[in-house]
Amino acid sequence: MTVAAVVGVDIGTSSSKGVLVDLAGNVLRSCSREHRVDRPRPGWVEMDGRIWWEEFVALTRDLLAPGDAHVVSVGVSGMGPCVLLTDGGGTPLRPAILYGVDTRSTPQIARLTERYGTDEILRRCGSTLSTQAAGAKIAWVADAEPEVFSRARRLFMPSSWLVFKLTGRYLIDQHSASQCTPLYDTVAQEWYRPWADEIAPGLDLPDLRWPGEVAGGVTAVAAAATGLPPGTPVVTGTIDAWSEAVSVGAQGVGDLMLMYGTTMFLVHTVPHRLTSPSLWGTVGALPGTRNLAGGMATSGAITGWLRELFDAADYPELLRLAERSGPGARGLLMLPFFAGERTPILDPDARGVIAGLTLSHGRGDIYRAALEATGLGVRHNIETIEAAGGDIRRVVAVGGGTQGGLWTQIVSDITGRTQHIPSVTIGASYGAAFLAAGVVEQVLIHRWNPIREVREPRPALAADYDELYQLYRELYVGTTSIAHALAARQARLATPTPPGNDEPVEDVTP
pLDDT given for residue 117 in this prediction = 98
Containing H/E element for 102?
none
Tens-digit pLDDT profile for residues 20-61: 999 999 999 999 999 999 999 988 999 999 999 999 999 999
Q: Which residue has the higher pLDDT, 404 or 384?
A: 384
Q: Is the pLDDT of residue 509 over 60?
A: no
On the CB side of 144, CA atoms within 13 Å amount to: 12
pLDDT given for residue 508 in this prediction = 38
Q: Which residues contact 359 (CB under 8 A, 6 or more apart)?
A: none
Distance CA 117, CA 129 (A): 10
Would you give the DSSP letter of residue 94? S
Compute the C-alpha angle 380/383/386, nearest 5°: 150
Would you give the DSSP letter of residue 65? T
Tens-digit pLDDT profile for residues 469-506: 999 999 999 999 999 999 999 988 876 554 444 444 33
- What percent of the chain has pLDDT above 70? 97
Three-class DSSP category at 421: strand
How many angstroms separate the most distant Cα atoms in the chain? 65
pLDDT given for residue 464 in this prediction = 98
Q: Say if CB 256 and CB 250 are below 8 A apart.
A: yes
Tens-digit pLDDT profile for residues 257-290: 999 988 899 999 999 999 999 999 999 999 999 9
Distance CA 455, CA 453 (A): 7
Residue length, the chain? 510
The pLDDT-based confidence of 376 (bands split at 50, 70, 90) is very high
Containing H/E element for 217?
strand 214-217
pLDDT given for residue 42 in this prediction = 86
Integer angstrom CA distances of residue 371 from 17, 260, 264, 274, 328: 24, 11, 11, 30, 10
Integer angstrom CA distances of residue 317 from 371, 407, 487: 14, 14, 33
Q: How many CB atoms lie within 10 A of CB 333?
A: 21
Q: Which residues contact 288 (CB under 8 A, 6 or more apart)?
A: none
Distance CA 85, CA 70 (A): 34
The pLDDT-based confidence of 311 (bands split at 50, 70, 90) is confident
Containing H/E element for 347?
none
pLDDT given for residue 498 in this prediction = 47
Q: How many CB atoms lie within 10 A of CB 475?
A: 17
Tens-digit pLDDT profile for residues 156-209: 999 999 999 999 999 999 999 999 999 999 999 999 999 999 999 999 999 999
pLDDT given for residue 494 in this prediction = 77
Q: Say if CB 65 and CB 226 are below 8 A apart.
A: no
pLDDT given for residue 495 in this prediction = 60
Burial string for 207-234 (b: 16+ CB within 10 Å, else e) reads ebbbbbbbbbbbbeebbebbbbeeebbb
Q: Say if CB 408 and CB 510 are below 8 A apart.
A: no
Percentages helix, strand, coil for the chain (3-state, rounded to 5) are 40, 25, 40
Distance CA 456, CA 397 (A): 12
Least Cα distance to 174 among 206, 139, 197 occurs for 206
Q: Which residues contact 235 (CB under 8 A, 6 or more apart)?
A: 73, 74, 75, 76, 211, 212, 213, 214, 215, 432, 435, 436, 438, 439
Q: Which residue has the higher pLDDT, 406 or 42?
A: 406
The backbone torsions φ and ψ at residue 104, rounded to the nearest 5 degrees and listed phi first, read -70, -20
Q: In whole angstroms, what separates CA 154 from the centre of its chain?
A: 22
Q: Is the pLDDT of residue 392 over 50?
A: yes
Per the prediction, the chain carries an average pLDDT of: 95
pLDDT given for residue 496 in this prediction = 56
pTM value is 0.91
